[in-house]
Amino acid sequence: MSLSELISGVAAAERTLTVFNPTPGVAERLAEHFADRNVSVESASSDEGPSNYAVLGTGDTFHTAVSIDDLLRRPEDVEPGFERDSYAPILDHLDETLFTSYDRRQMLNATREIEDRAWRVGAGELHSGFQSGGNLRPQLAAYRRLGGRDDLSVHAYIYPNGEVPQADQFQLHLARTDEIRRSWFVAYDGNGVGDYKCALVAEEPEPGFGFTGFWTYDPSTVDYIVNHLVSSYPIIEPDGSGDDADGRRRMTVRPKGCR
């Protein structure tokens, strides 16, 4: 299953936010608040329970309930927000929920959260897709620093459509595939600890139209993403190159001194 197919599977699982006994305008505000997420907002009346509380579910599955005040916290209180502590309680349950039209600033903010987790743990594997060398180049200093952590193995993936950046302290994977050209991903394996695992996967169908994707804390999903990348884009020594099963040219460069 490709990264694009993973995103399509998440897109098919729309979640519903049911607002009970809302005051006028609240449901509309919530619909706007979650306009870039695959969340349907509905209103309902109940003779029991307080006003202005919401229940999040998928089909018949209950996820959580929370007050509207928590949901409508100021945006600066919940963004950039990949870390769980950055969110109102209900957003913990929006991992593996599709987001749409994220711009590069939002994507970079979410990416930074995962990179920071990998840095703090200081071990394991971090896999990051930058689409192109031009996108990687401004991040070289950060990735050299990440790759300098003794027990952290860092991998960066790009579609080589121009000058290839010089990679130091991390492994640079070059792949002429649509998946690498269109995808922005960051996956951290948590050094094998489930609670530390996290990933962000998105694709840009057309340049300039924003990214669609999801983030996840689910260990099995993170493991799948990492295994897909490792198996699809294996490491090849500098003097080796070859064609994959589809006849597409693929090359991976192992920089000097890299693990």
Residue 77, pLDDT score:
41
Give me the residues paired with residue 37 across strands.
99
Instruction: Name residues whose C-beta falls within 8 Å of residue 30's C-beta, 6 or more positions apart in sequence.
Output: 17, 19, 41, 54, 68, 71, 72
pTM of the model: 0.72
Residue 256, pLDDT score:
34
| Residue-level pLDDT, tens digit, the chain, 259 residues | 899 998 888 877 777 888 888 888 888 888 877 766 777 788 888 777 677 788 877 777 877 777 777 777 644 443 333 344 433 344 445 566 778 778 888 888 889 989 999 999 999 999 999 999 999 999 999 999 999 998 999 999 999 887 888 888 999 999 999 999 999 999 999 999 998 999 999 999 887 778 998 888 889 999 999 999 999 998 754 444 444 434 343 444 444 334 3
Give the domains, in start order, of the chain with CATH numbers: 3-96 (3.40.30), 100-253 (3.30.870.10)
What's the angle, vertex CA 189, arms to CA 185 and CA 191, rounded to 5? 150
Residue 73, pLDDT score:
62
Rounded to whole angstroms, the Cα distance separating 240 from 226 reads 23
Owner of token pair 């991998």:
155
Residue 87, pLDDT score:
39
Residue 94, pLDDT score:
59
Residue 29, pLDDT score:
82
Residue 57, pLDDT score:
79
Residue 258, pLDDT score:
40
